[in-house]
Amino acid sequence: MKHYVVRPRSGKGWILTLAFVALIALGLWPVIGWFNLPRLWLGLPWLAIWTYVIVLGCWLAMLLANRWLRVPSHDD
Amino acid sequence: MTTSLLPLWITLGYIGVALFIGLRARGGHLMDSLEEWGVAGRSMGPITLYLLIAAGSISAYTFMGAPGWAYSKGVAVFYVVIYLSYLALVAWYCGPKVWAFGQRFGHVTQGAAIADRYQSPLLGGLAALVMSIGSLAYAVLQTIGSAYILSVMSGGRIPVWAGVIVILSVIAIYLYVSGQRAIGLTNAFQGILMLVVAWTVGLWAAHHATGEMGFASVFERLAAERPAFLTLPGADGKMSFAFWTTSIIVSMLSFMPPVWSQWMSARSADTIRRSATWLPTYYIVVLPMVVVGFIGITALPNLGRADTVALEFALQNLPSWLVGLLGAGTLAAAMSSCEPFLHSVSMAYAKDIAQPLFRLGDAATARLARRLLIPIMALIVAPVAISEPSNLIMILLVGLGFATQVLPAFIGMFLWTRASRWGVLAGILSGFSVTLAFTLVWPNPLGIHAGFWGLMINLPLFVIVSCLTPPVRDDVVERFFELAIPGRLPSGRR
């Protein structure tokens, strides 16, 4: 058989893959360094806020992915 | 130590409720097959699965270790929230495929999937055996945490050895009777309890410390007096950018066996996607407990053990009923993480090691898996937990380091058809050796996580050896990748 590496098969698949990779990059160096300041926003440290921005991003990306990939629901 | 008996009664009440739920979870199902006892007949709906995975990933660390990290290091503790969210992305991508493999090919363990993909029971058994080291160390740590909580809540009346026996007995009873169904329902209960307890304790502690029902004043004081706690590398200077980054990557890529069992217990592939999508929302549970650790920096400046900060603060400043709730919540966190690991080790020993070794039938293997729970608890977990070994953390780190080194086996399942059994074996062995050396001999060189060093040797070697050795049979690779390619999951039950 002809061997291969699995890749997204549509434009939306590529966008979602890039979104997942971007989300992961947002939590690592160097990006994390940009928020590494002893400042507060909404009463929380910048790094804590950034952490929950990533949490929110992951949730939204998966919500979008479910909608875009049109995965039918079979759960009641 | 508390003198009131109320916290103890609340904690014991929680144990009673968990036992009741665990026993009721069986619901008339026959537990004579691994399909039932091991993966709950692949029947769990999205809400149960959400709470099962969420509670399973929130261990006693969240109630003890995380406040301790905040107390000793500061915001470095938030790396946990980030990698847990990334684990949700991993679950979203890999979970449905693992479920499809299990449903189509009858896998009930991670080792069985590895053995099937690479046509090597040896590789499956080896992976199961070494994964069990980290799993058992993890279960022992959670058991010690549980017994410690019982001891504190009872004001020292229940010694650690008795606490270990009580906790393991309760888990053994409902795990033996109801298997994965017990884990599902007790984790659902524990997950809700933890969320309520963490926010109640966090807000109450903040109000007690600052007079406000919010966290702003806590951090404003730290920003003014101790700003090192608000940035990396943290107050103790140990969480560099390199260690933060590599810790997240290594943790994100650790496919622990209980996670596979959880995915395979889902009703459908779509159930996993829906649960994974909402998983990040659960991790707000970490924030209030971390805040208690930050409060402790100024309220309890001379604490001997950082991981007791939340309990100490509660004992000194919160009402008895809330101390009891914190005890119940911490115990829930410890038990909800301990039981999936014990369950998966029993299944792995029976299915991935004993069955191919002694050519057992499926029914005999299922009976063995259930019965193995007792000797695993009585002969391994309980004695080790009671002796409280000082090097247990080291065993755990090595075990988890290995878990990441199994990554090539999963790349060959989800992403690359050419992965060969020898490539996987070379990657695992080289990665594990490097991780072992960089954990025990030269810990985390250049501030980079030992598991990451392992991957840097592991992955190139895996690719090179795979390309140089015969691939797995075409028909095997094709049936796996027919399911692994996006959009090709089996129709009907996607």
Give domain status of residue B1, yes or no.
no
Looking at chain B, the number of H-run helices and the number of E-run strands are 24, 0
Q: Spell out which residues of chain B touch residue A5, defining contact as CB-CB under 8 Å.
A: 415-417
Residue of B nearest to A47 (CA): B75
What is d(CA B342, CA B135) in angstroms, rounded to the nearest whole number?
A: 7
Q: Spell out which residues of chain A touch residue B219, defining contact as CB-CB under 8 Å.
A: 40, 43-45
Q: What is the pLDDT of residue A74?
A: 45
Q: Residue B391: how many CB atoms within 10 A of its CB?
A: 11
Q: Which one has a higher pLDDT value, B273 or A73?
A: B273
Q: What is the pLDDT of residue B393?
A: 61
Kindly tell me if the per-residue pLDDT of A35 is higher than 80.
Answer: yes
What is d(CA B279, CA B248) in angstroms, rounded to the nearest whole number?
A: 17
Q: What is the pLDDT of residue B378?
A: 95
What is d(CA B262, CA B180) in angstroms, rounded to the nearest whole number?
A: 8
Considering CB atoms only, which of A36, A56, A74 is closest to B494? A74
Q: Determine the average pLDDT of the residues in B61-77.
A: 90
Interface test with A, best of B50, B93, B231, B279 (most A CBs within 10 A): B231
Q: Answer yes or no: do B485 and A56 touch at CB < 8 A.
A: no
Q: Spell out which residues of chain A touch residue B484, defining contact as CB-CB under 8 Å.
A: 6
Question: CB-based contacts of B454: which residues, under 8 Å, 6+ apart?
Answer: B401, B404, B405, B430, B431, B432, B433, B434, B435, B438
Q: Determine the average pLDDT of the residues in B365-375.
A: 95
Asked if B120 and B50 touch (Cβ cutoff 8 Å), the reply is: no
Q: What is the pLDDT of residue B99?
A: 95
Q: Answer yes or no: do A74 and B493 touch at CB < 8 A.
A: yes
Q: Per residue in B307-353, pLDDT tens?
A: 889 999 999 999 999 999 999 999 988 898 899 999 999 999 999 99
Q: Per residue in B73-125, pLDDT tens?
A: 999 999 999 999 999 999 999 999 999 999 999 999 999 999 999 999 999 99
What is d(CA B83, CA B79) in angstroms, rounded to the nearest whole number?
A: 6
Q: How many angstroms separate the Cα of B14 from the Cα of each of B174, B178, B366, B448? A: 14, 19, 30, 41
Q: Per residue in B145-169, pLDDT tens?
A: 899 899 989 988 999 999 999 999 9
Residue of B nearest to A28 (CA): B245
Q: How many angstroms separate the Cα of B215 from the Cα of each of B204, B289, B291, B313, B432? A: 10, 11, 7, 16, 42
Give domain status of residue B493, yes or no.
no
pLDDT band at B249 (very low <50, low <70, confident <90, very high): very high
Give domain status of residue B492, yes or no.
no
Question: CB-based contacts of B68: which residues, under 8 Å, 6+ apart?
Answer: B293, B305, B306, B307, B308, B309, B310
Residue of A nearest to B411 (CA): A5
Q: What SS3 state is found at B4?
A: coil
Q: Determine the average pLDDT of the residues in B171-178.
A: 95
Q: Answer yes or no: do B230 and A47 touch at CB < 8 A.
A: yes
Q: Answer yes or no: do A9 and B486 touch at CB < 8 A.
A: yes
What is d(CA B379, CA B363) in angstroms, rounded to the nearest whole number?
A: 25
Domain that holds residue B188: 6-484
Q: For residue B15, what is the enclosing H or E element? A: helix B6-24
Considering CB atoms only, which of B85, B414, B484 is closest to A54? B85
What is d(CA B37, CA B148) in angstroms, rounded to the nearest whole number?
A: 30
Q: Answer yes or no: do A4 and B280 touch at CB < 8 A.
A: no
Query: CATH code at B156?
Result: 1.20.1730.10
Residue of B nearest to A13 (CA): B486
Residue of A nearest to B215 (CA): A43
Give domain status of residue B223, yes or no.
yes
Q: Answer yes or no: do B231 and A55 touch at CB < 8 A.
A: no
Of B339, B79, B44, nearest to B190 by C-alpha is B339
Estimate to the nearest angstrom the gap between the alpha carbon of B476 and the chain centroid.
31
The DSSP 8-state label assigned to residue B372 in this structure reads H
Q: 3-state SS of A18-66?
A: HHHHHHHHHCCCCHHHHCCCCCEECCEEHHHHHHHHHHHHHHHHHHHHH
Q: Answer yes or no: do A45 and B75 touch at CB < 8 A.
A: yes
Asked if B103 and B493 touch (Cβ cutoff 8 Å), the reply is: yes
Residue of B nearest to A39 (CA): B223
First vs last C-alpha separation in chain A: 41
Give domain status of residue B490, yes or no.
no
Q: How many angstroms separate the Cα of B430 from the Cα of each of B13, B256, B424? A: 48, 19, 10
Beta pairing partners, A41: A44
Considering CB atoms only, which of A3, A33, A51 is closest to B417? A3
Helices (H), B226-361: 241-252, 257-264, 269-282, 286-299, 309-317, 320-347, 355-358
Q: Which one has a higher pLDDT value, B10 or B28?
A: B10
Give domain status of residue B51, yes or no.
yes
Considering CB atoms only, which of A8, A51, A73 is closest to B82? A51
What total of structural domains would you count in chain B?
1
Of B25, B60, B195, B67, nearest to B138 by C-alpha is B60
Considering CB atoms only, which of A28, A61, A75 is closest to B274? A75
Q: Spell out which residues of chain A touch residue B494, defining contact as CB-CB under 8 Å.
A: 71-72, 74
Considering CB atoms only, which of A30, A51, A59 is closest to B81? A51
Q: For residue B72, what are its two tokens?
A: 């000793």
What's the mean pLDDT when you consider all of chain B?
Answer: 91
Q: What is the pLDDT of residue A71?
A: 54
Asked if B490 and B104 touch (Cβ cutoff 8 Å), the reply is: yes
Give domain status of residue B489, yes or no.
no
DSSP B46-73: HHHHHHHHHHHH--HIIIIIHHHHHHHT
State phi, psi for B162 to the nearest 5 degrees.
-70, -40
Kindly tell me if the per-residue pLDDT of A51 is higher than 80.
Answer: yes
Q: Answer yes or no: do A40 and B75 touch at CB < 8 A.
A: no
Q: Quote the Cα angle for B423-B426-B428, to 5°.
A: 105
Q: Answer yes or no: do B232 and A36 touch at CB < 8 A.
A: yes
Considering CB atoms only, which of A1, A43, A72 is closest to B219? A43
